[in-house]
Amino acid sequence: MKNAVAVIAACAALSAACNRAPSQGAGGKPTVALVLKTLNHPFFVDMRRGAQEAADRLGVTLQVQAAEREIDVEKQMQIVENLIQTGIQALAITPSGSREIVSALVKARGARVPIIVVDTRLDSKAAADAGVRGETFVGSDNYEGGRLAGEFMVKATGGKAHVGILEGIPGHETGDSRLRGFRDAVKGSPGITIAASQPANWERDQGFNVFQNMLQAHPDIDSVFACSDLMALGALEAISAAHRTGTIKVVGFDALDDAKKAIAAGAMEASVAQFPAEMGRAAIESAVRVIHGEKLPEDIKVKLELVTRDNAK
Amino acid sequence: MNPARQFGTLIGLLVLCVILWILSPFFLTVSNLLNVAEQTSINAIVAVGMTFVILSGGIDLSVGSIVALAGVVLGLALRGDQPLALALFVALVAGAICGLANGMLVSLGGLPPFIVTLGTMSIARGAALLVTEGRPISGFAASFRLFATGRVGFVPAPVIATALVYLIAHLALTRTTFGRYVYAIGGNEEATRLSGVAIPFHKTMIYVVSGLTAAIAAVILTARLNSAQPIAGMMYELDAIAATVIGGTSLMGGEGTLAGTLVGALIMGVLRNGLNLLGVSSFLQQIVIGAVIVVAVLLDTMLKRKHAV
């Protein structure tokens, strides 16, 4: 009987929790699900805030779920499968894996749940093979963001630099596009060489370690492009540990608050700002439009902006 | 193993189901129960090998990484246009080799299983990342995907696979000398040795079983995601350990059953599913699942103390 008691204890916690979060739209309100990669990253926390505001304004019930870890696409798939069971009217999702999540979306389509893809695109081949189509894609153009960063790097270094690059998780569309954009932008400047380019898996501590190792192997590195600010902030700490603050130009992506502070303080050069709250808002607005039977444009672009010393607050 | 305690785990699962049935109109439907069974299959299969290892008094931290490595080997073989049967075979061999290495280092090398499998966890993960250069392998034939999407009648293929694995493993554990030695080694290794049992061989085979079940889980996971990811299977070892101990297997070894482990895995699967259906915040979900694990083992320990008196 002991485990029975254990489970009852858990259920007490559970029933307390569900009073707070109803599983179905109260009073016939449609329910929209927003499945994020994770909720332990400020980017997605902002996205959730924007989505919640839009949901309140438009009178829909919003269900937000996320896996514990950003890379856990199997868990994200389970969440989608479970949410389909609750009869949601629309699904907005930031795919943890551009190809892998397609299998779950096949099931959503089977249940006639319209899909809004947010922030990270589906792999077009995998989606086409499975016959899955999002109603629309809401997000910033990561390739364009990478270009912005690259063009800034050329300008800031006068076209002469040894660049170290910190990549996201290999195979992630988001990071790959940023990287391609950056490389394409610096390609035209023969004075810019890419000394090293390695994944630090989106994480701050890995950004620190990987860049520290990079500096050991390539002491001539004088600038950094990190595909996300968390990795850029990790690199900043590695630079400070090597007593080289101010001699290495760091450009990041996401314009997190900590990064903006570093830019204002002069420790970091620039960061490409995305507007996740805006994405969340647009995602829920799109979902509501689809529920009302409207047809959406294929792409809903959310703006990008370069944050530098001039506009960092 | 006291049958009444086994019964308790099952009652726990049923109580959980009844509570979810009351709380959510979406829980007790055929499609949702099949959904839960399918989602539980991967953890349940990994937990089979984990149960063998824990019964023998060991621990296997490498199963998550073995899932990734076997999956990647499978993916490479499939992309290399090898026949399906051969691809499956090499994936299982990859899992078995990892288990063999674990087993030999534990039994012949005399190292603690915690250390050995911690090492293998890192080595197998690194190997999976190395051969794929960190990128997922995807785009498999529709015939392979049947391992996840196929159905026999209305039962999903992963559920059938889980049932088969449990049936075979249960017979091996209860009807063969190998099975008896698994319990004996965990109960009292020294006494088992003195009674003339070839401990190194049997211990090695226990870890091979664990590597094999991890590889079987990798087949289903790869088919499910239609992708072999070198970063797949992270923390699966902890889920498998949790299913095993919730199911009543003692971490000290010598005591436990596979039926208990299956119920343990189902409790975790049902709990995750129910918390999703109820729209519980994902942070709170982690707290609830953690609490269930701790409380289940706490009660197990208290009960044992009572029996000992």
Q: Which residues of B touch A86 (CB under 8 A)?
A: 24, 26, 277, 279
Judge contact between A14 and B24, C-beta under 8 A: no
**B25–A24 CB contact, under 8 Å:** yes
Quick one: tokens of B229? 């990811």
Which CATH number goes with the domain that contains B126?
1.10.3470.10
Q: Which residues of B touch A202 (CB under 8 A)?
A: none
> Nearest residue of A to residue B16 by CA position?
A7
Q: Which residues of A touch B42 (CB under 8 A)?
A: 74
Judge contact between A7 and B292, C-beta under 8 A: yes
pLDDT digits (tens, 9 = 90+) for B208-267: 999 999 999 999 999 999 999 999 999 999 999 999 999 989 889 999 999 999 999 999
pLDDT digits (tens, 9 = 90+) for A153-204: 999 999 999 999 999 987 777 899 999 999 999 998 999 999 999 999 888 9
Distance CA B39, CA B35 (A): 6
Helix (H) or strand (E) holding A115: strand A115-118
**B300–A125 CB contact, under 8 Å:** no
Distance CA A69, CA B170 (A): 34
Band of residue A19 on the pLDDT scale cut at 50, 70, 90? very low
**B9–A86 CB contact, under 8 Å:** no
**Minimal Cα–Cα distance from A69 to chain B, Å?**
10
pLDDT digits (tens, 9 = 90+) for A41-77: 888 999 999 999 999 999 999 999 999 888 899 999 9
**A68–B282 CB contact, under 8 Å:** yes
What domains sit in chain A, N to C, each tagged with a CATH number? 25-140+275-302 (3.40.50.2300), 142-273 (3.40.50.2300)
Tell me which residue in A2, A83, A100 faces B226 most closely, judged by beta carbons: A100
Task: Give me the number of domains chain B comprises.
Answer: 1
Specify the pLDDT at position B6: 62
| Higher pLDDT, residue A172 or A224 | A224
**B231–A129 CB contact, under 8 Å:** no
> Which stretches does DSSP call E strand in chain B?
137-138, 151-152, 155-156, 227-228
Task: Supply the mean pLDDT for chain A.
Answer: 89
**Minimal Cα–Cα distance from A41 to chain B, Å?**
13
CA nearest to A203, candidates A175, A181, A184: A175
Q: Which residues of A touch B276 (CB under 8 A)?
A: 65, 78-79, 82-83
Q: What residues make up the domain containing B279?
A: 3-308
Structure ipTM over 0.90, yes or no: no
Q: How many CB pairs under 8 A join A and B?
A: 182
